[in-house]
Structure 1
């Protein structure tokens, strides 16, 4: 099939570094591995920095013009029209203003991945934006959900003709990632995250407090990442004993993978993480994970087998779990070995492609059924 692939949040090929951009590229590669011709939609970035009504109106006007241009282009025969529309990451700050209308105009299935609904945004200043998202949810033939949290939000739209299918977060590597080196003495902890305001900074600050609870134990921490809040984050860790924490700055992916493999435990609280591809990267080299059971973190690990998850916000319990793992190299090895198998086999692009193939077939079936029903 020819698939139009739309990313309202960020441009598909803008060169930016973020988890959503990486997942978008992985999805396109997985769809192409199935033999489909995937055309990323060339459209301006649709992210809404505020709930300002004028901003939404401007985005809608721009989308309407692009819809008209695309329809004229396809109907003129300049290029073939798509057989299916696939939107990645439709949510209240980046509603899909193109897909539902174009899929209807072309009479083709409409599919989403990582769409989410925010009931608390259905009232107040973000209500119009949430209503646009919900149009897409109602129009869908298949919605792939990455996390249990997203599934719960999508349940009101599950009905005959609209299917909800799990597509667990997955990770792709050009070559097999390095394997964890021999255990270090003292054990080496590592974390990776951008240093920006909001949940990332909150997780860094929580990690600093957690490590302060076990500062009398022997460990070292490496931090990979950079950003606007680096100075504040460095200050938070400055209270720990000298020489315990090393800031490595921003590394490219190969460099980060090599660093991960030189460590023993991946620690990242993950407060309100959507899911976090970095957890899969760390598991892929064979590192056990210690994190909060927050957001979609549980959907990127196998709790108890590859990771130790703690109730969100319980920093004392987090410190206790981490302390126990520091003292148990045999358990670290068991968790790490299971983590590598999990990431490289259960969360591979091949597994994702199988789920995508199932979903696309169901989308075609659902669309045909809706068409027959409409013709009665």
Structure 2
């Protein structure tokens, strides 16, 4: 123990520092994790902000990042104050933790990971060395926390014998539920406007809106480099679609508080904090049935609440139509969602889960 009654935790996020200026779900989760760890009475130090991330499988970049990581290891081993625990968030083949395991081993510190991914198929190809390092870092962890049941599959398959795996459901940085939505306003979509998976979700939204009947309205919160493409997708709907731009947390909360439903298909989302935010306000979600989201979307006694991907945009159109035409159903599903968030996805529950698992280590 560093001082009587106070633990000191080293925190590191290889992919993106929690102090990075550009908003993202990864940055928000890192910040939220720091807060729930600190809520247990600990001092949390962001001991390094070195970004170890290779998006394209570039061998030269990987070599450069390894050199930088080696320098950071030397610095931290020599200069880092005494800590009780090292926590790394989001270790995977594009952003392996090249620092934590070595520093923890040298300094005799327990090493813990949150949201670690094992990808055996990446052990060959342009990320092979980084993937191996991610596996080695996962092996070094005494405890790995996973967010969803889908994450657990490979973590359990390749689990190190001396390692324990613990569920840490995604959570909101709040102790209580926010005000419930009136459910009388426009539909709401929230997503960064980036090329790739985000733009693919916007394409599905546009495809789904084409067959929608009645006097519907959709608000879209978000911005980014793919905004011209998103605007082009929504152009056929003219004044029915309103672009809100990038909103502050307070502004987004106001949008949730009057949204009739939340619509985001979720192409390749790990889980998506926006789903938790919407449901905390009692806003029913329309999304496709995708692995990462099954743990965070409220169950329903209605059939086909989250249509299979193979059913395409038509199934989403039908779900939108059903909810827009039935205010009672919206309230029923929204109430279920708020109950689920209150029970499993607020900060106090997450803090308690974290400390139950790591206290024996420290």
* Other structure's SS at 1:308 match: coil
Could you tell me how far apart the structure 2 residues matched to 1:146 and 1:362 are? Answer: 21
CA deviations 1:309-339 (Å, max 9, x no partner) are: 2212422222222222222211100111222
Q: Note if contact 2:175-2:346 (Cα within 8 Å) is conserved in structure 1.
A: no
Q: Note if contact 2:13-2:90 (Cα within 8 Å) is conserved in structure 1.
A: yes
Q: Note if contact 2:186-2:259 (Cα within 8 Å) is conserved in structure 1.
A: yes
Q: Note if contact 1:145-1:165 (Cα within 8 Å) is conserved in structure 2.
A: yes
**Selected match of 1:193 from 178, 191, 194:** 191
1:23, CA displacement in angstroms? 0.9
Q: Note if contact 1:303-1:309 (Cα within 8 Å) is conserved in structure 2.
A: no
* Other structure's SS at 1:239 match: helix
**Selected match of 1:256 from 252, 257, 271:** 252
Question: Who is 1:228 aligned against?
Answer: 225
Could you tell me how far apart the structure 2 residues matched to 1:126 and 1:2 are? Answer: 34
Could you tell me how far apart the structure 2 residues matched to 1:48 and 1:23 are? Answer: 20
Question: Who is 1:287 aligned against?
Answer: 283
1:54, CA displacement in angstroms? 1.6
Could you tell me how far apart the structure 1 residues matched to 2:330 and 2:270 are? Answer: 26
Could you tell me how far apart the structure 2 residues matched to 1:305 and 1:65 are? Answer: 55
Query: Which shifted more, 268-277 or 331-340?
Result: 331-340
1:6, CA displacement in angstroms? 0.5
Query: Which shifted more, 307-316 or 87-96?
Result: 307-316
1:179, CA displacement in angstroms? 2.2
Structure 1 segment 1-376 matched on structure 2, within 5 A: 1-74=7-80, 79=81, 81-173=82-174, 177-181=178-182, 183-184=183-184, 188-214=186-212, 216-240=213-237, 242-304=238-300, 308-314=305-311, 315-361=313-359, 363=361
Consecutive unaligned residues in structure 2, runs of 5 or more: 1-6
Could you tell me how far apart the structure 2 residues matched to 1:329 and 1:175 are? Answer: 25
Aligned CA distance change for structure 1 residues 15 and 174 (closer, same or farther; 3 Å): farther
Could you tell me how far apart the structure 1 residues matched to 2:174 and 2:21 are? Answer: 18
CA deviations 1:223-245 (Å, max 9, x no partner) are: 111111111111112223x4321
CA deviations 1:109-149 (Å, max 9, x no partner) are: 11100111222212111111100100011111111001122
* Other structure's SS at 2:180 match: coil
Could you tell me how far apart the structure 2 residues matched to 1:353 and 1:238 are? Answer: 44
Could you tell me how far apart the structure 2 residues matched to 1:194 and 1:20 are? Answer: 12
TM-score computed with the length of structure 2 as normaliser? 0.93
User: Number of residue pairs matched?
Assistant: 354
